[in-house]
Structure 1
Amino acid sequence: MQIRDILEQKGSDVYTVLPTTTVLEVVRTLNEKHIGALVVSNKSGKIEGIVSERDILRHLESCKMEMPVSDVMTPMNKLIIGHLDDTIEYAMTMFTKNKIRHLPIIEGDRLVGMISIGDAVASQLSNVEFEKKALMDYITGSYAQ
């Protein structure tokens, strides 16, 4: 299964904010949308980074709610990304190896979606359930002939 398969199921909508957006506005948006991360992009849509709940918590002691999100985000040069043709196994390796929970999906220089570790786990569980059912049907002889 590829990342494109997850995005086809869940959709490719991604919430974004400007680098000048305040941390308070980011927290409000994360809570309002029930999400864990936002892509930070400039007015022309170029990605500048990502801001997650963890980014905000990591800077909490020095963070002022009116400071711009660019002060706490993970910048583009440190951003870990995925592509539509990457496998779910690749994405899960990136999540685990880098201790991240969100993976922006880029094609060329364009943001085409974002998946979370929850999306990857759900897709794997769905595959396992399908395989289990197919094997049980095969074993019991109840599969379609």
Structure 2
Amino acid sequence: MTVASILASKPRTLVSVTPETTVGEVARLLHERQIGAALVMQGDTLLGILSERGIVRALALHPSGVRGMRADSVMKPRQVETHLSATLEEAMRIMTDNRVRYLPVFEDGHLAGLISIGDVVKAELGRHAHEVTNLTAYISGAH
């Protein structure tokens, strides 16, 4: 299974904000869209990712002023990425080794999507369920 197959099962809309967007506006957007993170973009360039976790950390450090802070001052800067042909195992390794919950996906230098640890776990569970079904059919003699 590849990262491309994970993206194919997700909505194609990427939620992004500008670096100047306030944390309060990002929090409202995450709540309205029922998502855990937004991409911080300058034009077509990915600068970083601002997640619910990032907002909570900022709140712990700046309890009274986080809502008015800029997204780029709170986001996690772009550090790691993957590509469409990466395997599920490669994506899991990148996410685990770098302790990230969101992984941007690039193809030919262009942002193709964003996968979350939840997307990866869901794909892995689906893969295991498929293997169990096939093994059960094989053992029972059904073809």
TM-score, scaled to structure 1: 0.90
**After TM superposition, where is structure 1 displaced by more than 6 Å over at least 4 residues in a row?**
none
Alignment partner, residue 46 of structure 1 = 45
In the TM superposition, 1:1-145 aligns within 5 A as: 1-42=1-42, 44-60=43-59, 61-62=61-62, 63-76=65-78, 79-143=79-143
1:63-110 Cα distance to aligned partner (Å, 9 max, x none) = 52111111101123xx21111011110111122222211111112332
Shift of 1:114: 0.6
1:4-32 Cα distance to aligned partner (Å, 9 max, x none) = 01111223321000000000000001111
Q: How many residues align?
A: 140
Cα distance in 2 between the residues matched to 1:30 and 1:74: 16
Give unpaired runs (5+ residues) of structure 1: none
Identity %: 40
8 Å CA contact 2:58, 2:66 repeated in 1: no
Cα distance in 1 between the residues matched to 2:116 and 2:104: 9
8 Å CA contact 1:104, 1:111 repeated in 2: yes
Return the letter of the residue paired with 1:85.
Answer: S
1:88-141 Cα distance to aligned partner (Å, 9 max, x none) = 101111222222111111123321111111111111111111111111111111
Give unpaired runs (5+ residues) of structure 2: none
Cα distance in 2 between the residues matched to 1:52 and 1:64: 14
Cα distance in 1 between the residues matched to 2:93 and 2:12: 21
1:38-74 Cα distance to aligned partner (Å, 9 max, x none) = 11011x2211111111211222122521111111011
Cα distance in 2 between the residues matched to 1:2 and 1:90: 9
Say what the alpha-carbon RMSD is for the aligned residues.
1.3
